[in-house]
Amino acid sequence: MAKPKITNPNEFILKRITGQDDLKTSTEYFLSQSTIGASTTKSLNFNGGISNESISLEYAKEVLEKSFKELQEGDLSTLEEMLLSQAFALNMAFNSLSVRASRQPDASTMQMLMNLCFKAQNQSRATIDSLVRLKQPSNTTFVKQANIAQGHQQVNNLAEKNITPQNELLKGSYAELDTGTTTTPKGIDTTLEALGKINGRKDTGR
């Protein structure tokens, strides 16, 4: 069955899946990453440089699905293009803010624009760095360390003897202590006073 022609750029085309109820079909459709990405992209473009009437939600969803498939197959060209375009845009923001800052007679306004200018510059640099890392990933080598003892090896036997240094000192000349004469034990008064009455629920079950 051919897909119906899209006439409204602000609508998605939802196809009914045989054997599946409509609510589950619509939930899976609208919660897919391609649908969410297309909707977010068009919402963020509101009053942007591109007319929203020139962007179709359904076609944007298809573009994202195509990019998803390319990424799964190891094709990073779309990501590379995206990073490069962002670096160019940030560089343009850097230059534009620099010019605007130089024309400000007020020092505080100029300082504010220069701060934004340097932020754009830093973001452009970070984006270029990400692009370079994507194109030329670093090869990290993990070397398994060999357990080989070279030269003199000192072994701490305290853990094996389960003896702490503090306890070891008690075995010296101070281990036997003269505690004096033995004290006579006193009797213990075992008489118990009656407890006060506890105001609780009467147990009628016994």
Q: Give 109-124 pLDDT, tens digit per residue.
A: 999 999 999 999 999 9
191 vs 19: which has the higher pLDDT: 19
For position 192, what pLDDT does the model report? 46
Whether 91 contacts 117, CB under 8 Å: no
Contacts with 133 (C-beta within 8 Å, 6 or more apart), sequence order: none
**pLDDT tens digits along 39-59:** 999 888 877 788 888 899 999
Q: For residue 29, give the nearest of 44, 12, 46, 51 by alpha carbon.
A: 12
The answer to whether residues 13 and 4 touch, using CB atoms and an 8 Å cutoff, is: yes
